[in-house]
């Protein structure tokens, strides 16, 4: 394009940087941009950060862009969080972005919950998460998967207990049906009006193909339910059961 007399712009170079093989190659593109007098922007630096090999390198990119007077955005911080070594480091990034006035999104929390949760119970995680101003259900799927990876099925089920409608929860029901049934049955035996336990039992039985048991528990779950979304979900399953 240069041979044709067409001058590349920041979009051109950011696209080229995205194709770089590694962080050092991305750095070379950045230097070329500076040499050409191309004004860098947040996309440029976020793209470079995505090439960073570790958290410290990502942190250096963040500091560099701030020095250049370029304000990071939610994508920048999500990218940095992805480089964090563990959950606590990721949570520090979250606090930093909030301090900067940048609101987290679904990707932010999904990225955070993919971090190693060893030593952090599901109860602790949920208590902290519900204290956040923004706490959508979807990111908790990453936490369920993370606990499963560590073979901490009971911790995963603790989250599932409150969010049995999530796809990750339903996958857990299918893959770990015996553990799921045992967990919910114990809760149900202690309190027959535990709406989450009843709903969970209905869903597990539904997922493993036991329609008769599923119907019994789902009907009871609907009686105990206090949310429109849960009632709609139960109705859709009961309609399929017939």
Give the C-alpha separation, 208 to 215, whole Å.
Answer: 13
Question: CB 126: neighbour CB atoms within 10 A?
Answer: 18
**Res 200: pLDDT:** 93
**Res 11: pLDDT:** 84
Q: Where are the beta strands (DSSP E) in 23-117?
A: none
Question: CB 157: neighbour CB atoms within 10 A?
Answer: 25
**Res 142: pLDDT:** 97
Q: Which residues of the chain have pLDDT under 50?
A: 5
**Res 169: pLDDT:** 93
Write down the residue that tokens 């950011």 correspond to: 14
Q: What is the pTM of this model?
A: 0.85
Q: Counting beta carbons within 10 angstroms of the beta carbon of residue 170, is it exposed (0 to 12), middle (13 to 18) or buried (19 or more)?
A: middle
**Res 2: pLDDT:** 54
Write down the residue that tokens 């919950």 correspond to: 113
């Amino acid at each position: 394009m240069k041979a044709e007399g067409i001058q590349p712009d920041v979009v051109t170079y950011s696209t080229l940087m995205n194709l770089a093989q590694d962080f050092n190659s991305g750095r070379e593109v950045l230097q070329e941009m500076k040499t050409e007098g191309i004004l860098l922007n947040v996309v440029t630096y976020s793209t470079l950060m995505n090439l960073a090999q570790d958290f410290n390198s990502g942190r250096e990119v963040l500091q560099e862009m701030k020095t250049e007077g370029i304000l990071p955005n939610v994508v920048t911080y999500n990218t940095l969080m992805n480089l964090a070594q563990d959950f606590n480091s990721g949570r520090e990034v979250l606090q930093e972005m909030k301090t900067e006035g940048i609101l987290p999104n679904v990707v932010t929390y999904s990225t955070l919950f993919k971090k190693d949760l060893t030593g952090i119970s599901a109860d602790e995680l949920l208590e902290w998460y519900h204290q956040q101003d923004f706490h959508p259900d979807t990111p908790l799927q990453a936490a369920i998967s993370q606990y499963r990876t560590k073979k901490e099925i009971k911790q995963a089920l603790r989250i599932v207990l409150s969010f049995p409608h999530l796809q990750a929860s339903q996958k857990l029901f299918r893959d770990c049906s015996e553990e799921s049934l045992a967990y919910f049955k114990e809760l149900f035996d202690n309190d027959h009006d535990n709406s989450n336990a009843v709903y969970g039992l209905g869903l597990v039985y539904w997922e493993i193909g036991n329609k008769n048991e599923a119907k019994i528990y789902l009907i009871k779950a609907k009686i105990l339910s206090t949310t429109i979304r849960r009632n709609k979900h139960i109705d859709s399953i009961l309609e399929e059961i017939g």
